Amino acid sequence: MNKIYSGKLHCINCGGDSQFEFNDDKSFVKCTSCGREYPGGYIELVKLNVENLDHIKNKIAEDYTKIIIEKMNPNQFKK
């Protein structure tokens, strides 16, 4: 399967995505849309976006479950 899964981190204050400034080691993040600062850096931002990341994880699990079922029962899905 060559499908690429992606998602964007969102500011929990304004909902903006891809509008962040980082310092060199990403230990500090600032949303350029609303000015919200994340002193915990990239790790804090990821933790606050767990719901978005869970959605991507669930989509991957669904897709691979379908593939496994098709491989186990190939005639079931042929018409």
Q: pLDDT by residue for the chain (79 residues), tens digit each?
A: 567 776 788 999 998 887 899 999 999 999 999 999 999 999 999 899 887 777 788 888 998 888 888 888 766 655 5
Q: Which residues pair with 30 in a beta bridge?
A: 21, 37
pTM for this model (two decimals): 0.60
What does the block give as tokens for 73?
A: 């029962």
Paired tokens of 1: 């399967």
Give the model confidence (pLDDT) of 54-69 as tens digits: 778 888 899 888 888 8
Question: Who contacts 16 (Cβ-Cβ below 8 Å, separation ≥6)?
Answer: 10, 31, 32, 33, 34
Spatial CA neighbour of 59 closest among 7, 23, 19: 7
